[in-house]
Each structure stands twice: as C-alpha cells, then as structure tokens.
Structure 1
Amino acid sequence: MEMASSSANRDQLVPAVRCRLPVAVLAGLAWFAGCRHPEEGAPPPLPTVSVSHPVEREVTDYAKFTARLVAIESTEIRARVSGQIVAIPFQPGSVVRQGDVLVEIDVRPFQVELDARIAEEARAAAQLSLAQIEFKRIERIPPSSRTSHEYDMAAARLQEARAAQAAAAAAVEAARLNVEWCRVVAPIPGRISYKYVTTGDLVTGGIGSGTLLTTVVSVGPIYANFDVDELTVQRIRQRVREGTLKSIEEFNISVWLGLAAEDGFPHQGTINFVDNQVNRRTGTLRVRGLFPNADDALWPGYFARVMVPVSAPHKALLVSERAIATDQGQKIVFVVGADNRVAVRPVRCGALHDGLREIIDGLNAADRVVVSGLLQVRSGLPVEPQSVEMPISAAGSAPTTTRPISAVSSPRNASPEE
C-alpha cells in the first residue's frame, strides 16, 4: 500500500516540474539580458588631440659663439733708464689720464750728465766759431799768396767743427731725454694695474728690456674677439655671393653680447674686423666686435656670449618643438586634414626662434599641426581635433631672434639656452 502511494505522488510531481522548467529558463535569460551593458557593441570614442596652425613671422637666423673681451689699447709701462725709484704717486686700480706721472726715478745722475753735455755743446760751438774765423781769414788771402794746403786744412777744420757741434747737440738731446724719462708718465688714458716695484727699488732701463713697472688698459669702448667655425663661414659667404646677405664692407653688421651673469644679450655692438684667413689648426676664423661701454660693465678678460646674424630677415613658419617627432632619422609632424584624419608630413627644420622651431620645408600656413597627444595618433587615424594656441617652450618665452612682420624686435633679451 505504501509503495503504491509513493508512485502516485511521483506521478503528480513530474507534470509540475515540467511546467516550471521553461519558466525558470526564461527568467534566467531575462536576468542575463538585463545584466548586459547597453554600450557593448558601440564604436569607441575618437581620440582628442590639440592642433594649431603654424605661426607666421619674419625672423633672422643667428649663430652664437663664445668671446673674450679685450681692451682696445693695452700697454706695459717699463723703465727707459736705469736708476733708483724715488716715488710712485699712482693708486693701483685707479683711472689715470694721459700724461699723469706714474713713477719717478732718481734724476740727479742724469741731470749731471745733461749739464756736462750742455757744456760740451758750448765748447763745440766755440770751436766752430774759431774754425769759421780761421777759414774766412784764409779765404780772404789771394790765391797767389796762399798754398792750397792751407786752404784745404782750414776748410777741413771748419767741417770738423761743424760735425763736433752737431754731435754735441745730439748728446745734449739724448741726456735731456734721459732726464725726461726719469718721470714715467701714462702714455694712454685708462685703468692702471698694481705696482710691480716699490720705492727704493733699482730698475734697469732699455728698449724692450726695461723693468716692468705696471700696465694700463683703456676704458670705454671694448673689443670682443670670437672664433667662427669654418662651416658657418662658408654658409655666410655663400649667402653674400647670392646677394641675400650683405658683407661687412657694405653694411655695419650688428652683434649682441651677454656676460655670464646676465640674461640674454643686452649689449649691442658692430663687427669691425674679420681676419683674412681661417686658422689651419683650429678651423676657425677670428672675428672682432666693437661694443660701447659707457657704464663700464664690460672689462677686459671677461668671457662672454655673442650672437651674430647669419641670414637676412625672412618670413618663416614656426611650430612648437613638442610637435616634431622623429621617424628613422627623419623629422616629421602630424597634421589633421579636412576629414579629421591624421597624416604624416616629413619636414626640414631650421633654427629655434622664441621657443618655436622654424620649418623650412614640408608645411603650409593652413595646416593643422598636432601639438599634443602625439603618442595616440598614427597615419590615417580619425581624431577629434581641438584648436589651441601654438605652445611656446619656457626657454623661448622672452623675445629673442624673431620679429612680427609689422614690428622689429631686438634680441637683447634673448634666452641663453637657445
């Protein structure tokens, strides 16, 4: 009886399970469908990139070199006569005028010598007068009453007396120069160095070998000597031959200078000398600039940076350096076309101006250049461009070598890092 009752219960459950199974399956499918994200299967968003048009400016290319400042005039003060130093009236490091007394040497021996030479000159003058009287006496005697020997002897004594008088006068002048040289004076105006000798020292005179007493260098305008490499020289000469750049003979070429403790190139001068040949050992050409020095900021011996124009002003397209990439040694930029697809442009780069790199070839003014997001773009990729101003690097934030077409700017505030 119990077995029959269990069989009947199973027969009643089977139809119920069969009816509930489709409902459970449908409910699971509905739950799975409800858990799926609605965006699955939609295309990904386009990458957003910043684009900017190349900056159009009129620029001048500059080359930078290291220079050494040199005084226009520099002289060594040496003793011209030998003797003992009796006075040194100058103050070391001061500015002296031309003719100021710097050193005094004991003049007494030279004054005695001068007095003796003056006496010798007086004696020679007296002998000359006596010889003239004797010659005139012999000359007045008729030729028949004198011998030719007497006449010749009188004439010779006259010539001898004249030569002796001239020699005595020269000796007086030499002695007077020695007396004058006992007072050593400044031959040029300028700043004097320290004292190489002290009072009481014995010095030796001589031309070129006299004891060195001190030195004087001129103040005011100053030279800056710098060496230009051979490649730059050839490029400049090529532009001069082509007529795109004026030579130093045709035009006063400006040059700018900055010291180690200064920002940019605040001092402006002109090139006044170019050497006549390239140094074979260094492969450089010596060039010299002349700079005013009214504020005495430039001292001889300073190292300095100079910036020289190596091209005529010309219009150029400039882009940020962050927009320039390299592909197997070739400089490239990414541009966004009218269809908002990226294209690769090989370019030829020029000099850096105000933090922007000049593009000599490969770009047009209307091109939209990718300036950020370069790592997420490739050729042919559609993008979402956003127009921004052309970014400028911090090194070129100050006006340097470029100028707008409507105005000319000076490079005196140029950044030294360019």
Structure 2
Amino acid sequence: MYSHALTTSLVLTLALGACRKNDGPAPQQQAPVVEFVQPTQETITSWDEYNGRLEAIDSVEVRARVGGMLEKIHFTDGQTVEEGDLLFTIDPKPFEAALKAARAELDQASASETLAKQNYERGQQLLDRNAIAREEVDIRQGSLAEAQARTSAAEAQVETAELNLGYTQVRSPIHGRIADRFITPGNLISGGSAESTLLTTIVSIDPIYCRIDADEATVLKYLRLQKEGKRESARNSRVPVEMAVDGDEGYPRGGYIDFVSNAFDPATATLRARALFENGDSFLAPGMFAKLRLPGRGEYTATLVPEIAIQTQQDITYLLTLNSENIVQSTAVTLGPKHGDLRVIESDLPLDTRVLVSGITMARPGMPTSPKPAETKAPNAPETQGH
C-alpha cells in the first residue's frame, strides 16, 4: 500500500511539472514586413472622357438631274472618287435631239429678228423723208421688239437643252468614298427632284468629325472654370482633344473642338459638341464609335499616390498608412482622376504620410509592422482621366 501511494505521488508530481512547463510565456509574433511610399505632387491636366461617334463632314445622296435610261456606270463599288469624276451616264440621245430642236428654234428666231430689224431701219429712213406714216414705224418697232424677245427665249431654250444634255453625265460633287450602286444599267430612272431615283451615296473621309454629348453638370463645370480664367471656351478657341478607336493604345489621334451647339437637347439634357480630326490615311470611317477626351480643367498641382494603394470597403475609400510608431492605420481619402499608374487624391494628405503599397494583405489597422521604403519606378504613361 505504501508503494502504491508513492507511485501515485510521483505521477502527480511529474504531471504538475509538465503543466508548469507548458504554461510558460509564448514567443512574440514577428511584425510583418511592409513597404511604403510617400505622396508626390505634380502639375497635371485633368481629362474628361466621352463616348462619341464619327461622322462625315460631307454626305451626299447621288441623284440625277434628268430622267431617262441608265446607260453606263463608271466606278467600282466602294472606291475613292474625286470631285468631278464621272459616275453614271444616262442615255443622251433624247437630249441631243432636244438640243438640235432648240437650236433650230433659235435660228428661226434670229432670222425673224434680222428681218424685223431691217424693216424697222427702212421705216426710219422713209419717215425721215415723210414717205411713211409714224404709226407704221411704231408697228415695225414693235415687231422688232417681239422678234428680239423670241430670240432671247430661244437662246434660253438652247441653254436649258445644253444643261439637260450635260446632266446625262452624273458626276461626283465631292471627294470621298462612294457606296455601292443602287441601280444597274438598263433601268429607267427619274430625275430633277429630291424624290428622284437614288443612285448611290458618297461620304467625305478627310477630315472627319467626332460628335459627343456633354451632360449639364459637366457643361456648368466648364463654364465656371472659364469664368475663373482656368479654362478656355470651346466656342471661342480650338480646345485640343484626343481620340481613340477600338484597339488603339492610349489616345493617339489629336484634333480640336470646332463646334458647340447653341442649346441643350431637352430630351437628354445634353449639349452636342463636335471635334475635327485629320484622316489622311482613311483609317477612320463615318459611323465608328470612338472614345474622346478633352481637358477637364486647367493645369493644377495634384497630390498623387500609386493606384495599388487604394483600398475600398463598401462605400468608403481609404489608404493604409503608418503612424510614427509604425502602427497601421486607416486614412479615408477622396479620389480624383487617374494619372497613369497613379491616382489623384483630392482630400488633404500630407506629403510625409507613409502609404502602404506592399504587404497590404497582411496589414490590419492597429497592427505593428516592420516598414521599409518601396523601390520606386517611373509611372506608365501618365494620362489624367476623369470628370
């Protein structure tokens, strides 16, 4: 019995010793390594972006000035045509005959005028010798005036016939790209009115417009900046713009605003504006969608942080920053437009603030850290965008 009690006491002693060993102080967790940058300041221009559509400066529906049988087509569908190029030929025979008839009428009228003039001149000579009555001379003078009027009318008929004969050759009124033929030779077409047979269409290609619509709040912003002398008016100066189409990197195409509408569209509460771009390589075509940007405000000094530092939670935007004791804290900010890999901070942010850019996933507000400066590199293509 004594031996059993001794054995039990020894087991309890060992167990208590083990418990005291396990209750010793745990090693401290190592503070995570994080990297930080400090905000920078830079003079930038803020750009406002718009969706736009390209439009031709000139767009023509090609219709004949006279009707008749379409005889020949002189272009290839979709080709580029110059102003004055022959496009269609209408059968000229009826118009050639009409011109001959008009010229015959003119010859007849001219002959009658010559005879009337001779009769009047003889009458004047006889009147000088009192060999004819004054009334007879007046009659001859009237006959001459009528003959002269008939000659003028015949000349007008000849001119009209020549015009109509010329209109049998339908020529391009502008330089541009032509569509396909809407009618083929051998068909009878009408001409001379807006309802005449539509033969094809032509659109100009260089230069080209891009139309955009600005909402009322943005227009008011521009007007206030103009009033403060921070922005030029697009109505009075060529405000520069940049444009990109699908597949472009950045905004490689430069132009300027050449028109701003005089009234808002009441249905959409937007104001229409138009930009002009060179298109010498004919790459752009009317109807394309495009993205256009223009200066939203004048140059200003902006506070910038890397885009990767921006954190969001529900409707709150913030940065993870470090205090003087290297403790993580959350700093709420108001964001401005993008500027390449950077973001403009509109709210007050001291330039000595240490902003976390690496190790963010491990950092939590209130957590101690082991910070070090991040390696800096040149930002990519700084282009400030946004309203």
Q: Which residue of 1 aligns with 2:153?
A: 167
Among the aligned pairs, what percent are the same residue?
Answer: 33
State the distance in 1 between where 2:303 and 2:39 align.
6
For 1:113, give the aligned amino acid.
A
Match of 1:373 among 350, 360, 366: 360
Structure 2 residue 386 is matched with structure 1 residue 401: no
SS at match of 2:233: coil
Q: Which residue of 1 aligns with 2:80?
A: 95
State the superposition RMSD in angstroms: 3.2
State the distance in 1 between where 2:302 and 2:369 align.
28
Match of 1:73 among 36, 41, 58: 58
Shift of 1:376: 4.4
For 1:256, give the aligned amino acid.
E
Shift of 1:131: 2.1
Shift of 1:314: 2.1
Structure 2 residue 227 is matched with structure 1 residue 241: yes
**TM-score w.r.t. structure 2 length?**
0.87
Equivalent residues, number: 385
Shift of 1:176: 0.3
Structure 2 residue 192 is matched with structure 1 residue 184: no
Unaligned runs of 5+ in 1: 1-9, 403-413
Structure 2 residue 306 is matched with structure 1 residue 320: yes
> 1:227 touches 1:286 (CA, 8 Å); kept in 2?
yes
- Stretch deviating more after TM superposition (328-337 or 246-255): 328-337
What is the 5 A alignment of 1:17-416? 30-37=17-24, 39-40=25-26, 45-46=30-31, 48-140=33-125, 141-142=127-128, 147-249=133-235, 251-325=237-311, 329=315, 331-371=317-357, 372-373=359-360, 376-378=363-365, 382-389=368-375, 398-402=380-384
C-alpha change, 1:398 and 1:118, in structure 2 (3 Å) is farther
For 2:266, give the aligned amino acid.
R
State the distance in 2 between where 1:29 and 1:182 align.
119
**TM-score w.r.t. structure 1 length?**
0.81
> 1:350 touches 1:358 (CA, 8 Å); kept in 2?
yes
Unaligned runs of 5+ in 2: none
> 1:335 touches 1:367 (CA, 8 Å); kept in 2?
yes
- 1:285-330 deviations in whole A, cap 9, x for unaligned? 1111111122221112211111222122222112234534457855
**Structure number, greater radius of gyration:** 1
C-alpha change, 1:146 and 1:47, in structure 2 (3 Å) is same
> 1:54 touches 1:390 (CA, 8 Å); kept in 2?
no
